[in-house]
Amino acid sequence: MNNELLQTLRNITGTSHVLSEGDLTAWEQDWRKRARGKALAVVRPASTAEVAEVVKACAAAGVSLVAQGGNTGLVCGSIPDETGKQVVLSLQRMNAVREVDAANLTMTVEAGCILQTLQETAEKAGFLFPLSLAAEGSCTIGGNLATNAGGTQVVRYGNARELCLGLEVVTPQGEIWEGLSGLRKDNTGYDLRDLFIGSEGTLGIITSATMKLYPMPAAQLTAWAAVPSMEHAVTLLGLAHQHLGAGLTGFEVMGQFALRLVAKHFPQQRVPLYLDTPFCVLLENSDHESETHAREQFERLLEVALEQGCVTDAVVAENLTQAHQLWHVRESIPLAQAEEGLNIKHDISISVSRIPDFVRETDELLQKAIPGVRMVNFGHLGDGNLHYNVQAPAAGDTKAFLREREEEVNTIVYDAVARFDGSISAEHGVGSLKLDKLEHHKSPVALGMMRAIKQALDPQNVMNPGRVLRA
């Protein structure tokens, strides 16, 4: 039976694009090395028609499919399970830029296009494609859309969802939905596009997408500000919205301990440490006029913020190199944290107005439960999104900490998130990693509708079963 299916798949894509032997680690192991599955085969179709044929063949054989892009997901949503019975459908070979439409401010790309390729394609045409995140050199736009990726420019441009105008999708029945569209307005029925975006490959396979382009800003400036508290960081955010308008394209908060970890483990980096303040903020101002104008605007904002006392010290990067250095510090936090030892990560969101209370209360609860616990708290404050990570106390066995306390820590954090009406997965998704947590924290009415939709569109459960929703 399996041999028959493998032969059918070979007939569709060519023998060399059905991998069933040898080292399949690249497709079977997740990015953070938290899980490893076993694939019946990895199939790499070259076209939408081939994807449709592969889906039909698998559905006919009763074999389920796991769609995979760059395999950089953080919730074990794009690797096969351990049964050895699932086919991994890799979109890697579907990486063409189909069209750039300058007058319409759109580009149409295949799902396997690397995010960085989209950024570069846009830049070459004189535009900005603003989706930007740590894995941009490896992740694919198909995966970005399947997980509704976020990143550092969401405060201005929104998540992957907001950047997408249309999709081409292969359904669980192997039909092709030609929903590519460069239209900014289209009210002809239910919003299927947004249903597929963020569904993590459980409703169909995104094969191509039409994405928005933006005019390239004339200047992008970065500032670093020390703030006396999280409350003040929130006040600064309000001032920044008011003074910079849509110019505010980045607003990241970083806790003191997170920054000290970067200074400790990457001494070659010049971390602007303000040891007397609990948080620093990284701001980005994009300007369509000029660098001079951007700098004036930025300096005026920081003056007001200093006067009002919500900033104690601040610096605007003098040039691009300095700006990159500041962003590099921010982006090095996860690595510094890894150097320091194992830790428990959370990707949560809360209404911006409630974040200061959330952090104070939850910090206290954790400190009480685990004296000496260290908070690596940083994230996209502009979007209410914190990477609220918990590092073991300095003394002691970190492996044991993870093994013995992870569940307890997660419960404390996620229960607090629930009390503050927040989300337990702001930008990473659910995959298989947060399946249990979702069942516990999501409203039963919402879960009921999700199950009904999954059942309606994929009654055979062909598409990534057991992810997002239990199989």
Of 271-290, which residues contact a copy of itself (CB under 8 A)? 286-289
342/450 with CB nearer a copy of itself: 450
Round to whole Å and give the CA distance between 184 and 95.
24
Whose tokens are 């009654």? That residue is 459
41/66 with CB nearer a copy of itself: 66
Output the six-digit token pair for 195.
């249903």
34/184 with CB nearer a copy of itself: 184
| CB 387, CB 255: distance < 8 Å | no
Q: Shortest Cβ distance from residue 468 to a copy of itself (Å)?
A: 6
| Region label for 198, one of left (φ > 0), alpha (ψ between -120 and 50) or beta (otherwise) | left
Round to whole Å and give the CA distance between 360 and 435.
28
179/465 with CB nearer a copy of itself: 179
123 in contact with a copy of itself (CB under 8 A)? no
The amino acid present at 305, given as its one-letter code, is A
Instruction: Please classify residue 401 by burial: count the beta carbons closer than 10 Å to its beta carbon, then call 0-12 exposed, 13-18 middle and 19+ buried.
Output: buried
* Sheet strands (E) in 288-430: 313-316, 343-344, 347-349, 374-380, 385-391
| CB 123, CB 103: distance < 8 Å | no
Residue selected from 438, 462, 463, 465 as contacting a copy of itself according to rule CB under 8 A: 438
Binding mask 221-260 for a copy of itself (x = CB under 8 A): -------------xx-xx--xxxxxxx-------------
Stretch that binds a copy of itself, among 113-121, 132-140, 328-336, 430-438 (CB under 8 A): 430-438
Stretch that binds a copy of itself, among 115-123, 258-266, 313-321, 455-463 (CB under 8 A): 455-463
122 in contact with a copy of itself (CB under 8 A)? no
Round to whole Å and give the CA distance between 464 and 86.
9
> Bridge-partner residues for 283, per DSSP?
223, 251
Q: Shortest Cβ distance from residue 57 to a copy of itself (Å)?
A: 19
Number of residues this chain uses to bind a copy of itself (CB under 8 A): 97
351/460 with CB nearer a copy of itself: 351
177/257 with CB nearer a copy of itself: 177
Q: How far is the CA of 136 from the CAs of 262, 379, 389, in angstroms?
A: 21, 17, 22
80/382 with CB nearer a copy of itself: 382
Residue selected from 7, 351, 367, 460 as contacting a copy of itself according to rule CB under 8 A: 351
209 in contact with a copy of itself (CB under 8 A)? no
Of 54-93, which residues contact a copy of itself (CB under 8 A)? none
3/188 with CB nearer a copy of itself: 188
Of 294-323, which residues contact a copy of itself (CB under 8 A)? 297
Of 364-393, which residues contact a copy of itself (CB under 8 A)? 380, 383-385
Q: Which residues contact 179 (CB under 8 A, 6 or more apart)?
A: 166, 167, 168, 169, 192, 193
Pairing outcome for strands 86-90 and 39-43:
parallel
300/368 with CB nearer a copy of itself: 300
| CB 302, CB 311: distance < 8 Å | yes
Round to whole Å and give the CA distance between 161 and 179.
15
Of 141-200, which residues contact a copy of itself (CB under 8 A)? 147-148, 150, 154-156, 158-159, 161-162, 171, 175-179, 181-192, 194-195, 197-199
Q: Shortest Cβ distance from residue 168 to a copy of itself (Å)?
A: 11
